[in-house]
Amino acid sequence: GKIMSFFQKLPSKLKKYFQDYFKNLNYPIWILFLVLSVGLFLLDYFTKRAAYYDTRLQDGNIIDFIPGFLSFQLVGNKGAAWGSMSGWSWFLIPVSMIASIALAINLLFRFRKFNWGMTIGIMLMLPGAVGNLIDRIGLALKAVPYEKGVIDFLRFTFWPSFPICNVADYCLSTGIVFLLIGFVFEFKKEYKLLKEEEEKEKKSLNTTETEMHDRLSQLDKKNEEGKKGDEDGKENIQS
């Protein structure tokens, strides 16, 4: 049926899509975004380990990195970003895996489909999602350095109540903001196109109505001329 037909046509459609995609791809920008995404993932990965193995951060000690603004404090987080959903590894691992795959596919193979805001958002969210996925798998396996939870160490000194987090958390949060901004611009663009289509339809409709009115007027005029001609003919006969 339709399902079988869909899967039969899928390989040729995918082949055509990828041929067109890579033929018209802006490779310098695409590679730049990939490098930035990988770089942010590596930054998150190695800063967590640096914080874990730094003896100065043991036993809850705090290091002032930027006095009055940012400090380092090592904590274990068994939940999601900002310490939420603690103990939900069974749920967070598959969610992180699905998010990582979806974001990777979009950045690799749908790069040309998005505006700048959405592209930057995806580029930032991918390392955050992959970083958190690795952390949660490590936590579930109780592997070093995750035996006490996902490593969080970034602390705002000026905002003591703000949750301690890591680079991946900031990548995700900032990426979501850019993604939402991109969605707003995309919505405005689609709304503008919709309005333009409506205006075109109105103009087309008005033009059609005007043409019909002109044609009816011409028909009425011809009918009147025909009636007048008949009347003149009758008068000539009578004469």
Task: Give catalytic residue positions.
Answer: 152, 169
Structure-derived torsion over alpha carbons of residues 39, 155, 79, 132, reported in degrees to the nearest 10: 0
Report which of 136, 121, 202, 127 is spatially closest to residue 169, judged by C-alpha positions: 127
In contact, 137 and 150? CB cutoff 8 Å: no
Beta sheet of 62-66, edge-to-edge order: 62-66, 70-77, 150-156
Bridge partners of residue 155, in order along the sequence: 71
Complete DSSP assignment for 118-144: HHHHHHHHHHHHHHHHHHHHHHHHT-T
Cis omega (within 30 of 0) for bond into 145: yes
**CB burial class (10 A; 0-12, 13-18, 19+) of residue 30?**
middle
For the chain, give the longest Cα–Cα distance.
Answer: 127
How many Cβ atoms from other residues are within 10 Å of residue 95's Cβ? 16
